[in-house]
Structure 1
Amino acid sequence: VDPDLISAVTAAILNAAEMAVMQMNQGELWEIVVRGSNGFSIVSCAGTSFLLVGAGTHGADLGRVVSILRDYSKMIAQILGI
C-alpha cells in the first residue's frame, strides 16, 4: 500500500472523527476503527501529536490488533513524554 495514500486517507478520517466526537460531546478522540469486507484499519492516538496506524485482513483478530495498538500507543506517548 502506498504510504502517501495511507497518510492522506488517515488525515481525512482523523478530521472527520475529531469533528464527530466534538459535535457529539464525546470528549477526547482515542482511536478510529474502519472495517471493510476485506479487512480493517485502525488509527490510535499516541499522545496529542502522534498517530499509530495499523491494518489487517479479513481473517485477522480485530480485538487483538486493537489491544496491541492501544498498548503501543501508550508506550510511545510515555517515551515521548506526551
Structure 2
Amino acid sequence: MSITQIAGKLGRDRKTVRKWLQADEPVGYVRRKPAAGKLDAYKNYIRHRMAEGCLNASVILDEIREKGYTGGSTILRVFMQQGDRAV
C-alpha cells in the first residue's frame, strides 16, 4: 500500500504519514498546561469587590489597571457575569 493510499484511508496528509513511517518510535501526546490568562492574577480582587457590592465593570477595570492589568474589558465583563460560576 502506498503512502498516498494510507493517507487517504486515514484522512491525513501524505507528508504526515511519511513522517510517521520514518519515526523510530510513535510520538506520544503531551498535554500542555493551560497558560495563565491576563485576568487570573486579579480574579480574587474582582470577587472581593463584587462581594462588597461593586458591580460596575468600568470601575473595577480602572482599579485593576492601576494594579497593572493590561487586558481589555470584555474578558472582565464575561468573568463578572459568570458570578459564582467564574473559574
Higher helix share: 2
| TM-score using structure 2 length | 0.30
More strand by share: 1
TM-score (structure 1 length as normaliser) = 0.31
